[in-house]
């Protein structure tokens, strides 16, 4: 692993040496900063981007991040997609993150910050399974380390462009979340993720808009519909045929149109809409699918629909 790290650093240094300072910047694809809580899946996220053709480097000194961004902005660079992974082991980075973002923004290279998160109980279980200590726990408990890290990174999380809660995601689920978000990042269109969920499994923390559709009749209480899910036509037809469904959908689309300019003004390229019902099997799934379809029909958005709890009991 040491040899691989040395090779990667040598590769990075060689590319930086080949930069020219007299060229116009290439800024179609912003540099990505992957950060978040230890144990929340930073390395897994990095592997997904690496498989998608991104040049990924981990925990480099803060001053090199700016040089790295300049590298991909150079039209002569062999690399056009770069992601940097950083965590609390790079304390200097955490303290200067806002300064780095500001400097890159001034140069027309505003980075995209992806924050990996997870519930405390999930993080504890992951550390226990791996028999690892938390980098900030010192002589205290694992929970103390997690709390310290949350506090340290709270400002970073608040300003992140993308927040991914991996509490209920497998490695394969994480790939399905990341790939649609980043596969079309160069087209500068807003990307909207519409996710269904069940309130009984907890509300998602990685969301911008949350809607409760439990006001609609529940197909669970219709015996012939109970075995199906909202992606199945019998359930979808039942949910969408309710008197309140179409007025709600029309109002929601109008509300989204009103919100969208604000998101654009804030530079928010990734929007997550969460639709909840009781179990996340029927109503929320059908409504999420329909909202996703209507958003796609706009033609100017990249839309991904996912169902967090559709397979849970």
Burial category of 120 from C-beta neighbours within 10 Å (exposed 0-12, middle 13-18, buried 19 and up): middle
Edge-first strand order for the sheet with 191-198 is 209-212, 270-277, 191-198, 302-307
Residue pointed to by tokens 């019902």: 277
DSSP category for residue 141: -
Q: Which fold has domain 2-187?
A: Rossmann fold (3.40.50)
Burial category of 223 from C-beta neighbours within 10 Å (exposed 0-12, middle 13-18, buried 19 and up): exposed
What pLDDT is stored for residue 207 in this prediction? 92
pLDDT by residue, tens only, the chain of 313 residues = 444 444 444 444 444 444 333 444 444 688 899 999 999 999 999 999 999 888 899 877 767 888 888 877 777 777 778 899 987 766 555 557 778 878 888 888 888 899 999 999 999 999 998 888 888 888 889 999 999 999 988 888 988 888 999 998 899 889 988 988 787 665 667 889 999 999 999 999 889 999 999 999 999 999 999 999 999 999 999 999 999 999 999 999 999 999 999 988 887 888 999 999 999 999 999 999 999 999 999 988 989 999 999 999 8
Domain boundaries, the chain: 2-187, 191-307
CA distance 172 to 50: 15
> Nearest CA to 86 among 74, 71, 70, 97?
97
Instruction: Report the predicted TM-score, pTM, of the whole model to 2 decimal places.
Output: 0.69
Asked if 252 and 212 count as a contact pair (C-beta separation under 8 A), the reply is no
The reply, when asked if residue 298 is annotated as ligand binding, is no
CA distance 113 to 101: 9
What is the 3 state secondary structure string of 34-97? EEECCCCCHHHHHHHHHHCCCEEEECCCHHHHHHHHHHHHCCCCCCCCEEEECCCCCHHHHHHH
Quick one: CA dihedral 155, 158, 161, 165, positive or negative?
A: positive
What pLDDT is stored for residue 25 in this prediction? 45
Q: Is 302 helix (H, G, I), strand (E, B) or coil?
A: strand
Q: Which residues contact 189 (CB under 8 A, 6 or more apart)?
A: 300, 301, 302
Both tokens of 137, joined, read 């726990």
The reply, when asked if residue 302 is annotated as ligand binding, is no
The reply, when asked if residue 229 is annotated as ligand binding, is no
The reply, when asked if residue 89 is annotated as ligand binding, is yes
What pLDDT is stored for residue 1 in this prediction? 41
What pLDDT is stored for residue 155 in this prediction? 86
Helical H segments across the chain, by residue range: 2-17, 42-51, 62-73, 91-106, 120-130, 142-159, 171-182, 233-240, 245-265, 283-298
DSSP H or E run through 193:
strand 191-198
Both tokens of 295, joined, read 């958003």
The C-alpha angle 217, 298, 115, rounded to 5 degrees, equals: 80
Asked if 275 and 288 count as a contact pair (C-beta separation under 8 A), the reply is yes
Give the number of C-alpha atoms closer than 13 A to the C-alpha of residue 151, restricted to the C-beta side: 7
Both tokens of 217, joined, read 């009749």
Pairing between β-strand 82-85 and β-strand 270-277 as defined by DSSP bridges: unpaired
């Amino acid at each position: 692993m040491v040899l691989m790290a040395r090779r990667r650093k040598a590769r990075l240094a060689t590319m930086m040496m080949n930069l020219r300072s007299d060229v116009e910047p290439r800024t179609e694809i912003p540099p990505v900063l992957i950060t978040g809580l230890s144990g929340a899946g930073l390395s897994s996220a990095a592997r997904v981007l690496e498989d998608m053709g991104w040049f990924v480097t981990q925990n480099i000194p803060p001053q090199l991040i700016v040089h790295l961004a300049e590298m991909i902005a150079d039209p002569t660079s062999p690399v056009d997609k770069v992601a940097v992974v950083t965590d609390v082991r790079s304390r200097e980075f955490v303290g200067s993150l806002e300064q780095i973002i500001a400097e890159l923004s001034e140069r027309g290279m505003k980075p995209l910050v992806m924050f990996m998160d997870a519930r405390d109980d999930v993080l504890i279980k992951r550390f226990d399974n791996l028999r690892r200590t938390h980098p900030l726990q010192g002589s205290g408990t694992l929970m103390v380390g997690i709390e310290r890290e949350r506090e340290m990174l709270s400002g970073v999380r608040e300003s992140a462009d993308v927040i991914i809660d991996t509490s209920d995601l497998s490695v394969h689920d994480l790939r399905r979340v990341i790939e649609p978000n980043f596969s079309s990042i160069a087209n500068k269109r807003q990307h909207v993720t519409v996710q269904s969920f069940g309130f009984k499994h907890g509300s998602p923390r990685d969301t911008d808009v949350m809607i409760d559709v439990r006001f609609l009749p529940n197909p669970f209480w219709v015996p012939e519909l109970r075995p199906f899910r909202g992606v199945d036509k019998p359930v979808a037809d039942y949910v969408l045929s309710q008197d309140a469904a179409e007025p709600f959908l029309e109002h929601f689309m109008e509300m989204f149109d009103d919100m969208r300019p604000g998101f654009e003004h804030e530079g928010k390229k990734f929007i997550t809409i969460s639709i909840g019902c009781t179990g996340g099997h029927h109503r929320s799934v059908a409504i999420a699918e329909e909202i996703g379809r209507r958003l796609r029909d706009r033609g100017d958005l990249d839309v991904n629909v996912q169902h967090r709890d559709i397979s849970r009991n």
